[in-house]
Structure 1
Amino acid sequence: MATERILPSEIRIFLNHIYEFKKGVRNMVLYTMSKDYEAFAVRRLENQHICYMIQEVGAHKINLFFGKPECMEAMRHLIIRPLNQLTAEEDFILGAMLGYDLCQQCKRYCDKKDGLKLAV
């Protein structure tokens, strides 16, 4: 009888992100995860020749960015401080690159930038 390995949910989600990236669903991924799984994630990304970047979030978490080389090169220039300190423009670019809904990104940008609301 085969023994099944039970993977933590954080690893299963990470592996699903890799699957979606490799299938072309996403050009870039941002996944916040426990530092406990950093070595596993880095090993998997390197074995699959996927570009990545790690940003420390705190003592126990990291932001793991991975994706196409041109996206990662842009991230190296854009992500130079914690994500909660991004300007409205940087936040908009990041969201667009991650494939977030463009109209929602526009609304988020306007709300963050000046709080003005359009009359409907």
Structure 2
Amino acid sequence: MLVFNHHIYEFKKGVRDMVLCTLSGKLEEKVKAKLERNEISYMIQKLKNGNINVFFGKKECLVVVDKLCKDKSLDQLSAEEDFMIGTLLGYSVSEQCRRYCKRKKEINVIFSL
């Protein structure tokens, strides 16, 4: 919950537009209550192992996450969908590009300057 609370702080300060936290399913009601108290939009995805993925942040970001993840878990996303989610979460664009190439098995692509 400490990391979750810190992510709320960062979101409220404008550091992040969207956040993803994976937490124990036992915390779901507590998490919902805290996000609702803070008037933060969220989406919860239940995982097979009993944990939950909690996406929260700006509504327009959550609309995209909902479209991409509605009926599948994060490990089922295509390379393109994974890239978009990572970018929305504020991950390094160059790292997302490397991850995309690796997933597409194009890691050895040589670019000329």
TM over 0.5: yes
Is 1:66 aligned with 2:71? no
Aligned residues: CA RMSD: 1.2
Question: Which of the numbers 105, 108, 111 marks the counterpart of 1:117?
Answer: 108
The structure with the larger Rg is 1
Is 1:40 aligned with 2:30? yes
Residue 16 of structure 2 corresponds to 26
Deviates more, 1:110-119 or 1:14-23: 110-119
Question: How many residues are matched?
Answer: 110
Percent sequence identity over matched residues?
A: 46
**Inter-partner Cα distance in structure 1 for 2:53 and 2:107:** 31
Deviations 1:58-88 (A, max 9, x none): 2420000000011111111011201001000
- TM-aligned CA deviation for residue 119 of structure 1: 3.7
- TM-aligned CA deviation for residue 115 of structure 1: 3.2
TM-score (norm 2): 0.92
Which stretches in structure 2 are left out of the alignment for 5+ residues? Answer: none
Is 1:85 aligned with 2:76? yes
Aligned residue for 2:10, secondary structure, equals helix
- TM-aligned CA deviation for residue 52 of structure 1: 0.3
Which stretches in structure 1 are left out of the alignment for 5+ residues? Answer: 1-10
Deviates more, 1:32-41 or 1:55-64: 55-64
Runs of 4+ in 1 over 3 A off after TM superposition: none
Contact 2:18 2:57 in 1 (8 A): yes
Aligned residue for 1:55, secondary structure, equals strand
Aligned residue for 1:45, secondary structure, equals helix
